[in-house]
Amino acid sequence: MSLEKINVAIIGSGPAGLTAGIYAARAGLEPVIFAGPSLGGQLMLSTMVENYPGFEKGIMGPELMQNMIKQAQNVGTEIKHESIDKVDLSSRPFKLSVGEKNYEADVVIIATGAVPKKIGLKSEAKLLGKGVSNCATCDGAFFKDKEVAVIGGGSVAFEDAIYLTHHAKKVYLVHRREEFRAEKVLVEKARKSEKIEFVLNYTLKEILGEEKVAGIELQRTKDEGDVKKLDVEGVFIAIGYDPKTDIFKGKIELDEKGYIVPKKKTMTSVEGVFVAGDAEDFMYRQAITAAGDGCRAAMDAEMWLLEK
């Protein structure tokens, strides 16, 4: 079994992890990023990004992430195409494992992110980025004066539906029950909107279209024979997110949903372990906020190491 010693280990390679790598490398901390199964994170699956500063005409998600990857490498960040599958944070140096490979790190920055919950339809995966979206604030502007559907009944779904009224001609909010988990104030605001129509006691059965979304089929929850079609051009899946923090359960403090709880700035409940991005941020979930978190975590790590 091999053992490699690392100064700063960064777990995750989205905007948070790569920005942490850039700042840590420029501080002379010789960071190593463990990229996991998808180098570049969720933005590698997106299309045009119009809300990341510095690109007046927008930039394709994969291109933005490739730029970040090259920048991180150019300033001295090492990127390993490996997935950490086991951690021991009980004492320093922290122990990380990739199968039979073992690493020891003085500092760990967790930037594993979160993934949108999926309904599980083949058409959902096929049309992702072609009318199917998990992020209204990212993609809403592409549906100006069009009809769209939001699937979900929690606060995220209502926030998405309300946001989409600024762009779309009509927003259908589809939920499997008549009761909502969303905050009452959001429900009341949505009910007052002339652009939002509630479609209750229905689930998403199928997303129609080959090259782009051409409508959806809904199935009534109490009568499987009752199928309704909506002629929408956009479908926003808003049933929540799952933070990718399973390997940290019992090792650092997580909240009831599995998100990492920061204690002192970006430091977690374990000294020397920091968090950045969507593994902690359940509210904003933007590339720019994740990048900012990566900057903060790297700077916090640098100061902590200097104090030690």
Task: Tell me how many degrees the CA angle 153-131-205 measures, rounded to the nearest 5.
Answer: 50
| Catalytic-residue membership of 138 | yes
Assess contact for 10 and 41: CB atoms under 8 A.
no
> What are the backbone dihedrals phi and psi of residue 17, each rounded to the nearest 5 degrees, phi first?
-65, -40
Contact 22, 72 (CB under 8 A): yes
Catalytic member of 106, 139, 160, 278: 139
Q: Which of 88, 106, 138, 242 is catalytic?
A: 138
Q: Contact at 8 Å (CB) between 303 and 28?
A: no
- Is position 85 annotated as part of the catalytic site? no
Structure tokens at 99: 């199968």
Task: Give yes or no for a contact between 37 and 308, defined as CB atoms under 8 angstroms apart.
Answer: no
Which residue in the list 85, 88, 135, 226 is annotated as catalytic? 135
Q: Cα(218)–Cα(238) distance, rounded to whole angstroms?
A: 16
Cα dihedral 269→274→280→286 (10° resolution): 160
Between CA 141 and CA 283, with CA 286 as vertex, the angle to 5 degrees is 110
What is the set of active-site residues? Answer: 135, 138-139
